[in-house]
Amino acid sequence: RFSLAGGSTYPVANPISMNNFGPGGGGSLTVSGGWSSCTDTVPSQAEIRLSFQGAAGPFLLIGSSGGGTSNVTFRSVAVTATPAAGERLGIRLSGSGTTLTLDRSEIHLFRDGGVEVSGGADLLVDEDSSIHDNGPRPDGGGIHCTGAGSRVVLEGSVRSNQATRGGGSLAA
């Protein structure tokens, strides 16, 4: 688990790729904001911002293949794009064994969509999370879910996204 000081913005210049990460081809990672310092044991609830500012491709690519797993949780994290990021997708999930959980978190301001879920991946959005103000893109401005076995469990909100088909979300 990474525990990061709340109320801070952490700029990210290059896309992050996690494919079958961890020992033995699988693993779990929790990025947790809302801490006054990295040594605190009780969070202050102030979120952190991961601000994507750079190169081509999705901000975050989480994938699994060949029986591996990649499980990522964002807790009190805002994943956002700056205008300099241009036409970028926020997060791409791909492959059975891939799961992204949003816990009190948000994905927003990506011009090529918030989250793309494919190839049997899972997206879990809790009631205190949102995917908003993403797009425009051709399909699913907030969430684009495609491929056999792909799954979105949505308890939070998807709002103010834009797309030619399925502004908030599209399952194809």
**10 contact partners, CB below 8 Å, separation of at least 6:** 4, 48, 49, 50, 51
In this predicted structure, what is the pLDDT of residue 166?
67
Q: What is the pTM of this model?
A: 0.85
Report phi then psi at 23, rounded to 5. Answer: -60, 140
In this predicted structure, what is the pLDDT of residue 77?
87
CA-wise closest residue to 26 among 55, 63, 51: 63
Distances (CA, A) of 51 to 8, 20, 80: 10, 24, 5
In this predicted structure, what is the pLDDT of residue 50?
76
Classify the C-alpha dihedral 27-30-125-167 as positive or negative.
negative
CA-wise closest residue to 155 among 105, 85, 82: 105
Residue by residue, pLDDT tens for the chain (172 residues) are: 566 666 677 777 777 777 766 555 667 787 877 666 666 666 666 567 777 776 566 788 888 877 778 888 988 888 888 766 666 788 999 988 899 999 999 998 888 889 999 999 999 999 999 999 888 777 778 898 888 899 999 999 999 888 877 666 666 5
Q: Evaluate the omega torsion of the peptide bond into residue 136 and state whether it is cis, within 30 degrees of 0.
A: yes
In this predicted structure, what is the pLDDT of residue 4?
64
